[in-house]
Amino acid sequence: MRRYIFVPHLLPAISGFEAERLLSLLLSGSKGVHSVSLNVGRLNAEVRVEGDHVVLPGGHVLDEERLRKMIRHKDSVFIIEGRETYRVEVRNGRRYYKLWAPITGRAPTLEISGVHMHRIVEVDPWTDSLMKVNLARVRAGARVLDVCTGLGYTAIASRLRGARYVLTIEKDENVLKIAKANPWSRRLADPQVDIILGDAVEVLPGLPSGSFHVIVHDPPRLSLAGELYSLEFYRELYRVLRRRGILFHYTGNPGGKYRRLNIAKGVAQRLRAVGFKVAYAREALGVIGFK
């Protein structure tokens, strides 16, 4: 395990949907300056249509052929660097990671080998993360432990709610590589956010008791990360939380309503067993623990 220095890419990022809009401007022949959404909805910018290409802020030039290539993968995200276009994805052995932007203008999610890491039905990934930190009642001055960094949305949302400090833990460096290319993750580069690259199961025993006001626990589904739902892990969560501290534990909805109830119920039982008082947060598919 080690501290991870997060340096975001600051190059333009364009979703396939945004590329489609640029192409329609280009094909309409309306030369001149146009206001468009770039950076997967994070930036309203002015682009210039000139002859057979579009000029982005920073002078990056996109012609019809490049835009058409991007549109083939409408819900993907591309980084534009001079003449090069990179799709935001990582292949590592049998695992495939990609930044996936299925909802136009909304924060993308991370997809790992076909499993997306945020809710995208009924709620977008960013709103989902805001709900989690609201339910965890992150307040001004709080020290927050964010278990499972992912794209950093819950860590960033905690800071936006006024947390003084966030310690966030991510096991998989490929995930952080994807986050670096995501315009919605840029605020992870924050001196008040420490990122530990390591397994939360190994990191927690090294943290002092009672050192956090709030814990946001946002693990992958139970079938993919059972250790993060175990009694032993919950004991550690309880130990590092201060008295009167609050835990929000996302439990998710794998396999529909019936299974969700059982998973949340099992989580609640084990949280109670280690000392938490528990309430269900059904709207956010989670369980809240009070110490």
Taking the mean position of all CA atoms in its chain, how far away is CA 111?
10
SS3 7: coil
Q: How far is the CB of 34 from ligand SAM (least distance, A)?
A: 32
Query: Which residue, 39 or 158, has its beta carbon nearer to ligand SAM?
Result: 158
**Residues forming beta bridges with residue 81, ordered by sequence position:** 84
Q: Which stretch binds ligand SAM (CB under 6 A): 10-18, 65-73, 98-106, 171-179?
A: 171-179
**Residue 151 and residue 168: Cα distance in Å, rounded?**
11
The residue among 4 and 238 lying less far from ligand SAM, judged by its C-beta, is 4
229: its two tokens? 């739902």
Instruction: List strands edge to edge, sheet with 13-15.
Output: 13-15, 77-81, 84-87
Q: Which of 15, 39, 76, 154 binds ligand SAM (CB under 6 A)?
A: 154
**Gap between the Cα atoms of 276 and 106, Å rounded:** 35
Show the tokens assigned to 70.
């991007």
Number of residues counted as binding ligand SAM (CB under 6 A): 22
Residue whose CB is less far from ligand SAM, 70 or 150: 150
Per CB under 6 A, 171 contacts ligand SAM: yes
Q: In terms of CB distance, is 89 or 218 closer to ligand SAM?
A: 218
Binding to ligand SAM by CB under 6 A, coded x per residue (else -) over 223-262, reads --x--x----------------------------------
**Shortest distance (Å) from residue 72 CB to ligand SAM:** 27
* Contacts with ligand SAM, 183-202, as mask; x by CB under 6 A: ----------------xxx-
Residue 175 binds ligand SAM, judged by CB under 6 A: yes
Residue nearest to ligand SAM (CB): 150
Which range touches ligand SAM (CB under 6 A), out of 97-105, 133-141, 213-221, 262-270?
213-221
Q: CA nearest 167: which of 241, 274, 272?
A: 241
How far out from the chain centre does Cα 117 lie?
Answer: 8
Is 124 a binding residue for ligand SAM by CB under 6 A? The answer is no
Binding part of the chain for ligand SAM, among 14-22, 94-102, 151-159, 277-285 by CB under 6 A, reads 151-159
152 binds ligand SAM (CB under 6 A): yes
Strand-pairing partners, residue 95, are 92
- Region at 212 (left for phi over 0; alpha for psi -120 to 50; beta for the rest): beta
* C-alpha span between 182 and 167 (Å, rounded): 20
For residues 20 and 28, give the distance between their C-alpha atoms in angstroms, rounded to a whole number.
12
Q: How are beta strands 61-63 and 77-81 bridged, if at all?
A: unpaired
64 is a contact residue toward ligand SAM (CB under 6 A): no
CA distances in angstroms from 113 to 95, 119, 161, listed in the order given: 6, 16, 32
Which one, 49 or 204, has the nearer CB to ligand SAM?
Answer: 204
State which residue, 14 or 200, has the beta carbon closest to ligand SAM. 200
Q: Which tokens belong to 43?
A: 């930036």
- C-alpha closest to that of 187 among 157, 165, 210: 157
Out of 148, 163, 237, 285, which residue is the one contacting ligand SAM (CB under 6 A)? 148
Residues that bind ligand SAM (CB under 6 A): 117, 129, 148-154, 169-172, 175, 199-201, 218-220, 225, 228
